[in-house]
Structure 1
Amino acid sequence: MYAPTPDDWRQANRARWDERVAVHAAGDYYDLDSFLAGREALRDFEIAEVGDVTGRTLLHLQCHIGLDTLSWARHGAAQVVGLDFSEPAVEAARGLARSLDLPPERAMFVAADVYEAAEAVPDPAYDIVYTGVGALNWLPDVDRWAETAASLVRPGGFLYLAEFHPLTDCLDDETGSTVAYDYFSREAWVDETPGTYADPAAETVHNRSVEWQHPLGDVVSALAAAGLRIDFLHEHDATLFARYQALRRHADGYYRFPADRPRIPMMYSLKATRPAVG
């Protein structure tokens, strides 16, 4: 339900994520054994749009247990730093890095709030600042996020964001064909659903979550106001899970509407560069 932002939103969300780390690490959704054996965790469009990361430094904000972060190291990044507010998630990520024989100078993980990232990470700026899917909805202030993220982009470097499209949260849950929720709402969405997207049947205790919807225009405008130049904004007609009952899973692993249904954007990605000095 929509509600004013509660004072304990950060504590509630941290308790929820802390509890779910063990579920995610043990389950089939993240399938850590196959990841450690070489399975790709990044989406194909992310790899294509970010491009060659060989020899570059990369900061991953809101990294959870670090699969995407470590994948960029596998793709040749000289150093990756993952940041997450959940200490159990950071410990799990560090364990994965050790299992992959990646020393701290190649793969480092930091437990800190994303709004405090500039004070928590080891370097003042990075070639690439990356944020993966399912991150911005946990933050109440997208302007503050953009200012923080942009401050960590080295001149000539860029921010890359891949996210679920905010339009998807406005449509009815069953068919995805009727507008059911306010696209422009600035209130929090407070929920008590147990389990997790990785295992809906998991028995969990800390079930309260507080999330926010950020219209696409707000995200783009916030990054531009923070001094970044928008290089591209791509909208994708596919998503990573069965958001609506009408979606069908395709051979490439993405979910799409049947061919006889009009398409809508369900994910988006953008790249924003900090102009080089001089």
Structure 2
Amino acid sequence: MYSPTPEDWHETNRARWDERVPIHAASEFYDLDAFRAGKDALRDFELAEVGDVTGRSLLHLQCHIGLDTLSWARHGASHVVGLDFSEPAVETARSLAADLGLSQERAAFVAADVYDAAEAVPDRSYDVVYTGSGALCWLPDIERWAETAASLVAPGGFLYVAEFHPLTDSLDDETGSRVVHDYFVRDPWVDTTPGTYADLDAVTVHNRSVEWVHPVGEVVTALAKAGLRIEFLHEHDASLFPRYGALDRHEDGYYRFPADRPRIPLMYSVKASRPA
């Protein structure tokens, strides 16, 4: 029998993210000064897999403070829209867009729940719908997400997802070598860890969060069921942060297991298109 989803999951998660926005904006992790000066927030494999976005419209679901969204604009997207359920995050993203001299016609940000995106965003469809790392774990219903995201993909366009591999949530935090959690778990995971990944020592009050694990097969099946054609599913042996103590940081900025350790997927990416 599954544990029920807490009724306050949405308000709980939003309070947590609202509190962390100013911490993230001031952190070395996000380094907004470097971003304003031209630093790219996108990963090399994302740029290669998405391809040239010049002249294309792009919607970024669950955009947080908008660095990835604005980076796509820098790479030539004609019109980018970022959506997030945190008002402070959206305000920070709008401020960053202004700092970069981008008009609202080039870069717009909307405060709304991802499940309400079809009604909240300014256009009915986009050439590219993008979701970055660490987004899907905050959603209880992946089929509803897939239906919403798919509905916003223009004919001839595609959805691109880059995510942390759910297998990583099944392994022990110290070494990443032992299976200690059920990969197929459907119960919500309630955490109360203070601080934030961008500043582990930050003093925080809203520390409760509710998250879910979505197996890769569940995500891909939901996208196919929503009417999109799966172009590829790629698994990557690198992570964006030291998920386990055993990971080493490489010159390219990614974290990987030592060469004498068997590799496992730490991230994955999916491209799913809508026929023209």
With the shorter chain as reference, the TM-score category is over 0.9
Q: In 2 relative to 1, CA 48–217 (structure 1 residues): closer, same or farther, beyond 3 Å?
A: same
Which residue number corresponds to residue 272 of structure 2?
Answer: 272
Runs (5+) with no aligned partner, structure 1: none
User: 5 Å matches for 1:104-183?
Assistant: 104-183=104-183
Instruction: Tell whether the 8 Å contact from 1:238 to 1:256 is kept in structure 2 after alignment.
Output: yes
Paired residue total: 275
Q: Is it true that 1:79 corresponds to 2:79 in the alignment?
A: yes
Deviation at 1:3, TM superposition (A): 4.6
Give me the whole-angstrom Cα distance separating, in 1, the residues matched to 2:200 and 2:27.
11
Q: Which amino acid aligns with 2:21?
A: V
Give me the whole-angstrom Cα distance separating, in 2, the residues matched to 1:228 and 1:13.
29
Q: Which amino acid aligns with 1:39?
A: K
Which residue number corresponds to residue 66 of structure 1?
Answer: 66
The two structures, once aligned, show a CA RMSD in angstroms of: 0.7
Alignment partner of 1:46: what SS?
Answer: helix
Q: In 2 relative to 1, CA 106–121 (structure 1 residues): closer, same or farther, beyond 3 Å?
A: same
Which residue number corresponds to residue 20 of structure 2?
Answer: 20
Give me the whole-angstrom Cα distance separating, in 2, the residues matched to 1:13 and 1:128.
27
Give me the whole-angstrom Cα distance separating, in 1, the residues matched to 2:56 and 2:266.
30
Give me the whole-angstrom Cα distance separating, in 1, the residues matched to 2:271 and 2:27.
32
Deviation at 1:159, TM superposition (A): 0.2
- Between the two proteins, what is the percent identity of the paired residues? 78
User: 5 Å matches for 1:183-262?
Assistant: 183-262=183-262
Alignment partner of 2:213: what SS?
Answer: coil
Give me the whole-angstrom Cα distance separating, in 2, the residues matched to 1:101 and 1:15.
30
Instruction: Tell whether the 8 Å contact from 1:57 to 1:127 is kept in structure 2 after alignment.
Output: yes
Alignment partner of 2:235: what SS?
Answer: strand
Alignment partner of 2:105: what SS?
Answer: coil
Give me the whole-angstrom Cα distance separating, in 1, the residues matched to 2:148 and 2:131.
12
User: 5 Å matches for 1:35-50?
Assistant: 35-50=35-50
Instruction: Tell whether the 8 Å contact from 1:3 to 1:190 is kept in structure 2 after alignment.
Output: no
Instruction: Tell whether the 8 Å contact from 1:3 to 1:189 is kept in structure 2 after alignment.
Output: no
Deviation at 1:106, TM superposition (A): 0.2
Deviation at 1:8, TM superposition (A): 0.2
Alignment partner of 2:45: what SS?
Answer: helix
Give me the whole-angstrom Cα distance separating, in 1, the residues matched to 2:119 and 2:265.
36
Alignment partner of 1:218: what SS?
Answer: helix
Give me the whole-angstrom Cα distance separating, in 1, the residues matched to 2:58 and 2:233.
20
Give me the whole-angstrom Cα distance separating, in 1, the residues matched to 2:42 and 2:5.
32
Cα displacement string for residues 92-123 of structure 1 (whole angstroms, at most 9, x for unaligned residues): 00000000000000000000000000000000
Give me the whole-angstrom Cα distance separating, in 2, the residues matched to 1:51 and 1:116.
28
Give me the whole-angstrom Cα distance separating, in 2, the residues matched to 1:221 and 1:155.
20
Cα displacement string for residues 145-182 of structure 1 (whole angstroms, at most 9, x for unaligned residues): 00000000001100000000000000001010000000
Give me the whole-angstrom Cα distance separating, in 2, the residues matched to 1:213 and 1:270.
17
Give me the whole-angstrom Cα distance separating, in 2, the residues matched to 1:28 and 1:141.
33
Q: Structure 1 length normalisation: TM-score?
A: 0.98
Deviation at 1:4, TM superposition (A): 2.7
Instruction: Tell whether the 8 Å contact from 1:61 to 1:131 is kept in structure 2 after alignment.
Output: yes
Instruction: Tell whether the 8 Å contact from 1:53 to 1:75 is kept in structure 2 after alignment.
Output: yes
Which residue number corresponds to residue 97 of structure 1?
Answer: 97
Give me the whole-angstrom Cα distance separating, in 2, the residues matched to 1:46 and 1:5.
33
